[in-house]
Structure 1
Amino acid sequence: MNYPIYLDYNATTPCAPEVIAAMIPWFGEHYGNAASKSHAYGWVAENAVEAAREHVANLIGAQSKEIIFTSGATEAINLAIKGTFDLHKGEKQHYITCQTEHKAVLDTIKAIEENGAEVTYLPVDNKGDIDLNFLKLSILPHTKMICLMWVNNETGIIHPINEISKLAEDSEIIFLTDAVQAVGKIPVSVSGIHLMAISAHKLYGPKGIGALYVRHNHSLPKPMPQIHGGGHEKGFRSGTLNVPAIVGFGKAAELRMSTMDKESNRLEKLRDILENKLLQISNTSLNGSQTRLTHVTNIAFSGVEGVDLLRKICQKIAVNSGSACTSISPKPSHVLQAMGLDSDLGRASIRFSLGRNTTEQDVMDAVEWVEKVVLELRG
């Protein structure tokens, strides 16, 4: 198939060749169940899982025993939020999150809200930033969790996690962060964080595998399991482990440790070329602040219909108007709405996210095509 140029790395990343090579033996030659404790097939699989767990832990500065493998970040988020809610069942509960969170968080929060939890949805300014003073004022005596993402998936904005984690720590409140777009892209540390959701397919690993970091040896309670049956993963998440995917996750984490900084610098140069040239098109503007990931830009193109713009651009450039999880909806991005963009401009905004296979020629071709499409649609 003659694929378009891929500039949608925030939606998913291709498995690195080294990751694929690492996974292949675990589909065939080494097919043991990691929970089989009585023979070599299980021992070999278990050793592979633990090695991968160590690599994932190293990437975020955690201990390997604090990594709980899940089917992805959405499951990790559900385990963290619903597990905390269930832990305090019968109590008065309050949760703090933000209007610009990923739907995996917002929909899970909505589910516990419908079951009796009080929720504060923090607003953002026109750059997408949170007011830390407002966050502090939102804390109540019965606040059980602060849930705020590390990096926004649509704008690439990096939130002040160190300050947020300190506030949560000082208030003795569980802090959950969706770090899906941060891990493997920027240096990440679990210091001061109680729960963290991460995903392999955002950092050149396979789909269908993620993890929840659960802080060890701390007075704050841990979430209750949401999947029962066998007591796998220290009882947090039962089910036969997906050994090939876990091995791939570990390999991807290991690779990001050694390539992240160099790749980030390369992509920043390419992103800046793309962004500066696109902003030279009349009536365009940047959505978000400069405190963001080096490979992401989100640009609004006024004077065009958003559905037509996205459909036409995607003939030659694979991009998105928001989260891949909500791209099937014609509604404007909830993130951009929260930042104050009107519906028409929100729909006419495009997220460009670059990655390890992006070349300067890809960027130049993308600029040429986007400019052509925008001018044609404006008539």
Structure 2
Amino acid sequence: MYLDNNSTTAVRHEVWETMSPYFQEYYGNPASLQHALGRQAAAALLQARTDIAAVLHCQKQEIFFNSGATESINTVLKGVFQRYALKGKHIIVSTTEHKAVLNCCEELQKLGAEISYLPVDEQGAISLSLLAATIRKDTILVCLMAANNETGALHPIQEIAALCQAKDCLYFCDATQYIGKLPLFLEHIPIDILCLSAHKFHGPKGVGILYIRRKSKPIQVHPLLHGGGQELNFRGGTQNLPLIVGMAKALTLAAEEGYNSTYIRELRDYFEQEICARIPASHIISQDVPRLPNTSMLVVEHLLATEIMSQLPHIALAAGSACSSASRAPSHVLLAQGMTIEKAKASLRVSFSMLNTADEVATLLALLPNVVERLRAQSPIWQLVQAGIIR
């Protein structure tokens, strides 16, 4: 039973059927316009770009294909820092950004970048007034995600974009968790740069998009990869056409189906209501701010999330971000929200998708409380809590 959809999602059958012919039948290089297979590939590439632009409500010339959000983040942070050095070296990020952003910023600091880390409150929300006060004349980039990958908390991207526009600095939005779960109309939100990965919305792994808005004063981003002039000379390397075609299909399906957000939210809300009623000393993180419809970060106090997961080996859950799972350290997101190390390590993420069912939620609700009760019965700490000696 798979409930770790913020880490990755299953490729939908329709997506696989769309992309599979491009591995063996229509395998031409889009740059090889001298023959029919190459021209056919170029046409498929253009159609994918057009379809994605239609979903995101932007121009197809604003879309650049790459390997995914991590590449986009490195491209933007390093590329903007290089191109805008004459204006300044100041970049603003939040303390709850993805590790790809935070680790890249650490590298840029070694090169002279000045990074301001915007704090969040206990719900994961930023202060727009503090952001406004933090932006300076030498601020070259504000990098704030649309939705947090661990808690699902949403940032007010419309207001952030408008603020950055008024302050004349670039806004880069990591929309990796947002796109495919909720609609986004780039013609109405003045986001300058945005990235996403296909595997978060039932597309294939290893492919993504970097969106760069076309403006009268062109946005300057130094390329990360130089090559044969692909992607309007911005990203070298032969395009991975099967994956790009699959990504376009996955995003188009998501939009046509209304992102299934009502159905997924109902699953999530039922789970949260029931699980907190059935497990004493448990609660949902970031429940009081706008969130993704599919994400629940559950704190089961006085237990380790890894202990719980080990007792449910047939259910795919997560203790924080998949990109940080190799680390034994508690979630930097939850610590930034003011949680103790103990509670951060007691946090379990459940993330749903359109492929999950009410029966699966019922199964989890039947199993998880029993596991928690059994583990707590063996815990001296829980006995002390029950006796009122500790809280």
TM-score when normalising by structure 1: 0.96
Aligned match of 1:29: 25
Point out the more displaced range, 56-65 or 168-177.
56-65
CA distance in 1, matches of 2:79, 2:170: 12
Equivalent residue of 1:6, what SS?
A: coil
Equivalent residue of 1:152, what SS?
A: coil
2:177 to 176, 181, 186: 181
Equivalent residue of 2:130, what SS?
A: helix
- Over the residues paired in the alignment, what is the CA RMSD in angstroms? 1.2
The answer to whether structure 1 residue 161 and structure 2 residue 144 are counterparts is no
User: How far did residue 92 of structure 1 move?
Assistant: 3.5
CA distance in 2, matches of 1:67, 1:97: 23
Conservation of the 8 A alpha-carbon contact between 1:72 and 1:199: yes
Matches within 5 A, 1:283-294: 283-288=281-286, 289-294=288-293
Aligned match of 1:273: 270
1:264 to 261, 272, 291: 261
Aligned match of 1:208: 206
CA distance in 2, matches of 1:366, 1:247: 35
Conservation of the 8 A alpha-carbon contact between 1:309 and 1:348: no
1:50-91 superposed Cα distances (whole Å, 9 cap, x missing partner): 111112212211111100000111101111111101113466
Aligned match of 2:61: 65
CA distance in 1, matches of 2:219, 2:63: 16
Equivalent residue of 1:276, what SS?
A: helix
1:46 to 42, 47, 56: 42
Conservation of the 8 A alpha-carbon contact between 1:145 and 1:176: yes
Aligned match of 1:341: 339
CA distance in 2, matches of 1:203, 1:11: 10
User: Structure 2 counterpart of 1:246, which letter?
Assistant: I
CA distance in 1, matches of 2:305, 2:291: 24
Matches within 5 A, 1:1-379: 5-89=1-85, 92-190=88-186, 191-219=189-217, 221-261=219-259, 263-280=260-277, 281-288=279-286, 289-313=288-312, 315-379=313-377
CA distance in 2, matches of 1:180, 1:225: 20
Conservation of the 8 A alpha-carbon contact between 2:4 and 2:352: yes
CA distance in 2, matches of 1:267, 1:217: 37
Gaps of 5+ in 2: 378-391
CA distance in 2, matches of 1:305, 1:240: 45
CA distance in 1, matches of 2:57, 2:36: 31
Conservation of the 8 A alpha-carbon contact between 1:298 and 1:351: yes
Conservation of the 8 A alpha-carbon contact between 1:184 and 1:253: yes
Conservation of the 8 A alpha-carbon contact between 2:304 and 2:347: no
CA distance in 1, matches of 2:200, 2:33: 32
CA distance in 1, matches of 2:94, 2:258: 28
User: How far did residue 340 of structure 1 move?
Assistant: 0.8
Equivalent residue of 2:311, what SS?
A: helix
CA distance in 1, matches of 2:220, 2:180: 25
CA distance in 1, matches of 2:258, 2:296: 19
User: How far did residue 220 of structure 1 move?
Assistant: 5.0
User: Structure 1 counterpart of 2:272, which letter?
Assistant: E
CA distance in 1, matches of 2:254, 2:220: 28
Equivalent residue of 2:74, what SS?
A: helix
CA distance in 2, matches of 1:268, 1:85: 39
Equivalent residue of 1:141, what SS?
A: coil
Gaps of 5+ in 1: none
User: Structure 2 counterpart of 1:297, which letter?
Assistant: S
1:156-176 superposed Cα distances (whole Å, 9 cap, x missing partner): 111100000000001111100
User: Structure 1 counterpart of 2:275, which letter?
Assistant: L
Equivalent residue of 1:318, what SS?
A: coil
Equivalent residue of 2:209, what SS?
A: strand
CA distance in 1, matches of 2:167, 2:311: 50
Conservation of the 8 A alpha-carbon contact between 1:153 and 1:181: yes
Equivalent residue of 1:121, what SS?
A: strand
Conservation of the 8 A alpha-carbon contact between 2:87 and 2:140: no
User: Structure 2 counterpart of 1:264, which letter?
Assistant: S
